[in-house]
Amino acid sequence: MKKTILLLLFCSIMIPISAQKTFEQKADSIIALMTLDEKTGQLNMVTGNWEATGPVLRGSDDKVKLLKEGKIGSMLNIRGTKHTRDMQAQALSSRLGIPLLFGLDVIHGYRTVFPIPLAISSSFDPEAIILASRVAARESVVSGIHWTFSPMIDVSRDPRWGRVMEGPGEDTYWASIMAKAMVEGYQQPFDDGLELMACAKHFAAYGAAIGGRDYNTVDISMQTLHNVYLPPFKAAADSGIASFMCAFNEINGVPASGNKYLYDILYNTWGYKGLVVSDWGSIGEMVVHGYSKDRETAAQQAIEAGVTIDMESNCYSRYLKQLVEEGKVSEQTLDNEVRKVLVQKYKLGLFDDPYRYCNPEKEANEILTPANREAARDVARKSIILLKNEGLLPVEMPKKIAVIGPYAGAKRDMDGNWTVATDKDVAVTLLEALKTRYPGSEISFAKGFDSKENNDRSGFEEAITIAGKADIVLLTLGEHWGMSGEARSRGDIHLPGVQEELACKIYETNKNTITLVMGGRPMIFNQVSEKAPAILYTWWLGTEAGNAMLDVICGEYNPSARVPMSFPKHLGQIPVYYNRKNSGRPSVDAEGNYSNRYIDIDYKPRYPFAYGLSYTSFEYKDITVSKDNDRILIKLNLTNTGDYDGKELVQVYVRKLWGESTRPIKELKACENIFLKKGENKEIEMSIPCSGLRYYGQNGWEDGKGDYKIFVGRNAEEMIFDTEIPVY
């Protein structure tokens, strides 16, 4: 039988290019030779058990035996050319010798770690996003990996949800831009023909988990689903992404792993041709949801909905053959899903050379290279947000420097969560970067507090003492690496423990204190916000974290990042996001007014969406808005009026004033990072296609025609200009 497949492949090579079979036709040639066991095997994904990212299924059959029988089509959590080659050899010893796909959660870098995705989102820089994805893709493919389970493009409005660190933040428009950039970075083939499959996850609305509790249920309107949560996935599909991944949650009472409504949109409305993989065990979990009678029913519901690959629930491997034999699932339905898997294997070149991604020389030479680290450093400094500056930043480092906080010297905390393949000892800490760059300075370090024993004050005295003797203090606060991420939801997102108490004592001791906040989500730190003279939000920046922080602190890079997700001022505000809808009684600040406000706390966030400062200043002049054919045209003059070269994120928001369905008070529809040298001015022209005003209303999709207000702003709250314009 293997000789038959080789003959088919040889013949396809000898046919003239114009007459060559398509990948689909080649896949069908193989499907015609397959048994039901071999077909269901192609839809079965299992873990290597080395880096499990979910509860490992107990009692599973011997995986090597299954590989040799052709009953496994893909594996995850196996990495490195040696290990992937070994597993590939086992699969190739099966009757038909169909190669395996190897997948891995390469979320923000493979071995060279980049900032977490929420931090990269802060850059509002598509080129930086493409660069980070490109380096991650190259390091992955030379390490035997064919498939990354990224990008996560779940719009998220609740910072209590631990997985906000993996995504783009709260804005649908920007999430769509980020999705497109990440797909381009991941999937563009390299010069040697290697390429990586990307995966849009989690389809759909996982970011709307009630209470911010991971894996929780979701209850949203069809308008919210279509207008807020689906557009980034549409952007990914339009960009040619190779795969989608199911969400854990339900939509309208039906879990995403069996939701025909979602996959009808994906396959039929959007015309998507790729495959869909379940999340870890999510098909079997439909029984726990109370949707599927049993695991056999779950398997039937999932494949009939359009879910191609079953990741680690073994529902397909145990029940699909029987379902086909009993006529409950048609063999054509099974064949359609098998074809999608085989087509991807053809596209990756695995039928031509199953070991083409297993080159140990490339793996040795192309991991953690100086160029990759420089790319990580560049993206990291573009991801740092300047939240406050009372004239302290940038600084020329003095002789006596006090460094306080455990995160300044913790390599693991530089990388953050979701780094399944990184070396734990290569990240550059802030303390290391300081000592390397300023060997002549007197650098003192004190932890001050314990990152895990958060209520321990035993380190306060030492920290206060060194702060009092220093010319400048670098104070690091935040979360340790395990406090944000999957299954890391937090009910209280204040800075943990006694950190703010220590910070206030340090501010009283030394006014020249720069505060750096590290973590994976927006946090609440009101005392620090009010009392600190300078605050940099540095997230988890990855391999070159310390160097990137110093680049910003010392003015070698002028911070340009912006808040991608509103920072709440109080827990009671959550969810707080800018593109909310008005009520009949909009919020006002005056007490005693019967409006949509609290009587005990503010309704406004601490830092609104797209907020961020710079070491320089910008002036907007001569702003005009006009309708030009099928677009809204915005023109303005932008001048750098400060003392530093820098970037300004020009933002254009719209509001539809009335219509058959209510619309948000503001929606970002265009933004552009503009670099200007000090004193330079530039004429800026931006546009919004009228097609971008379409929305899903009570009667389905509407063309968006109507009366609009157009805003130009520095962030979602600070508007510089607005005007009304009809769009008909």
How many other CB atoms are found less than 10 A from the CB of residue 170? 28
- Taking the CA atoms of 478, 483, 489 and 492 in sequence, report the sign of the dihedral they define: negative
Three-state DSSP at 124 gives coil
Number of residues in the chain: 728
Find all residues with CB under 8 Å of 372, minimum gap 6, and list them. 112, 135, 139
What is the token pair recorded at 586?
């909009």
Question: Crossing angle for the helix pair 23-31 and 331-347, nearest 10 degrees?
Answer: 130
69/44 Cα distance (integer angstroms): 12
State both tokens at 452.
């895990």
Q: What are the angstrom distances between the C-alpha of 388 and each of 125, 401, 535, 550, 661?
A: 21, 21, 5, 17, 39
Of 105, 171, 279, 551, the catalytic one is 279
CB burial of 469-501 (b: ≥16 within 10 Å; e: otherwise) equals: ebebbbbbbbbbbebbbbebbbeebebbbbbbe
CB neighbours (10 Å) of residue 673? Answer: 18
Active site residue 413: no
Q: Amino acid identity, residue 306?
A: G
Q: What stretch of H or E contains 135?
A: helix 126-141
Cβ atoms 400, 441 nearer than 8 A: yes
End-to-end CA distance of the chain: 63
Judge whether 30 and 96 are in contact, CB under 8 Å: yes
Q: What amino acid positions are annotated as catalytic residues?
A: 279
